[in-house]
Structure 1
């Protein structure tokens, strides 16, 4: 009986699995369109990959943050989780599963671990005891789950980044994702406004806002356009690039950069150009402050 239900050995089970997949795909295509079907397909593939290697899960989180930060499931399941929620949940789930099954027997901690665990416990109890004070809506559940997932993800990062090799790989992925987001923002800025707006409106199937989304200085179309990429808001894109730029900038003068010199220069150039095109003064000041802090830590004689 067990062999009959194994899709890798039983033609019947394999046929049933393929049939159910086809029905589900047809429903998604009918109600969500081709983009929704593609999004679900990619999400399914990503979930399988994450279950095999947690580091790929970290890469997916970084990719979603940089490239599709506001994407949500293209259909309603009572809740409407974002791609980021799903990516965070997958990574944390794989980590917990490794602990439960005994594949991982130790947990690496840091001074921040205990306060974070205390915060999670207090938040959960506060949420439970506060249910009598108001209605339990899907939005409230999703927002609370996002807080718990975000805080818990820090614990997973601390545990996983236990050696320099892992940390360097994650930073490499972060820099590449930031450079890709910057390149997209620059291309969108160079394209005609109508074409860029049409491309971004295609993302409404996965939760992005529709209508006219192009942004200008002082919201005046007569002035210069501001780069937004897939972050929709220039200040959001600027905040992302200032953090990644603070990591990328020191690579230019590093004795042993994470990438070949030519690729390092390309990454830094893309990030800095895209940041300038956002015309976000706060982000530019933040990047200057971040690079200044790194310089003071590295060259203490400047103090």
Structure 2
């Protein structure tokens, strides 16, 4: 449902004064953002607004965004600071939680599906909130502490939302499909960067330093020795973190090759698992060989 009625929208559109105010206001805000934050900040804010509008129209796209960030840009942050420096994952989780809560408040959703884990999880959330409040007198309230606590609450709340949203097999299957495709993309990126010359791969990864990733020599080697083999890291900074992600994705992808009714054609399921498996082996992490 639109916030403005068709009559209101028509009135605004037909009023030169209102259109002038909107254009002027947009120009002033855009100019201030460009002046004080630069083009990167302006572009980031514009993309954030567009992403929020998309999620408001379809909650499932918000889930896709969370999956994509986890698999492809898990450590990305905004290129500017708003009290704290939120990560892309914080924003994606926050958008999903906010839109889901808004659906309940506005009456678009009147029933919440729960699971046995829901009540203990809610109890833990309430206890954590009270513990946080009563513990404020024991130490300084830093931006890092606020961020960590907010991330904890968002992560716990996201579990409840996933349980509620995946109330049909169709929804669950669509999310698993997105997860597998994102996993295949993560595997392909890791393999591609591993195959490239070290200097070129390092240059490409340093581009991510603009959104919070570490810069400098980010390529990782066995025993941190450049004379030994390079370890695949994808966009996960650390090969062990990357390997852990691929292990989890592999446990979802592997059964698809043998399932009676796989979510994708069997050849595509095999390709997806192959990309994840090869990338996992190239991390040379202990988890890759367990």
- Aligned residue in 1 for 2:24: 16
Structure 2 unaligned runs (5+)?
1-7
- The one of 80, 96, 100 aligned to 1:95: 100
* 8 Å CA contact retained: 2:202, 2:218: yes
Write the mapping of 1:217-256 to structure 2, written as runs, cut at 5 A.
Answer: 217-256=222-261
The 1:222/1:51 distance shift into structure 2, 3 A limit, reads same
Q: Is 2:269 the counterpart of 1:264? A: yes
Given candidates 142, 146, 155, the residue that maps to 1:137 is 142
What value does the CA root-mean-square deviation take over the aligned residues? 2.0
Matched length: 281
| Change in CA separation of 1:238 and 1:22 when aligned onto 2, cut-off 3 Å | same
Alignment of 1:1-303 (within 5 A): 6=12, 10-20=18-28, 22-27=30-35, 30=38, 34=40, 37-285=42-290
User: Is the contact between residue 4 and residue 13 of structure 1 (CA under 8 Å) also seen in structure 2?
Assistant: no
Structure 2: distance between partners of 1:45 and 1:116: 32
Output the TM-score relative to the length of structure 1.
Answer: 0.88
CA distance in 2 between counterparts of 1:72 and 1:28 reads: 19
Once structures 1 and 2 are overlaid, which stretch shifts more, 88-97 or 11-20?
11-20
Would the alpha carbon gap of residues 40 and 222 (structure 1) be closer, same or farther in structure 2, given more than 3 Å must change?
farther
- Using the size of structure 2 for normalisation, the TM-score is 0.91
The answer to whether the Cα contact below 8 Å between 2:281 and 2:288 also exists between their aligned partners in 1 is: no
Distance between the aligned counterparts of 1:4 and 1:261, measured in 2?
Answer: 52
Note the C-alpha offset of 1:29. Answer: 6.1
Looking at structure 2, the residues matched to 254 and 28 of structure 1 have their Cα atoms a distance apart, in angstroms, of: 55
> Are the aligned partners of 1:107 and 1:159 in contact in 2 as well (CA < 8 Å)?
yes
Show CA shifts across 1:150-171 (max 9, x none).
Answer: 0010000010011110000000
CA–CA separation in structure 2 for the residues paired with 1:208 and 1:114: 37
Aligned-pair CA distance for 1:48: 1.5
1:118–1:83 Cα change, 3 Å: same
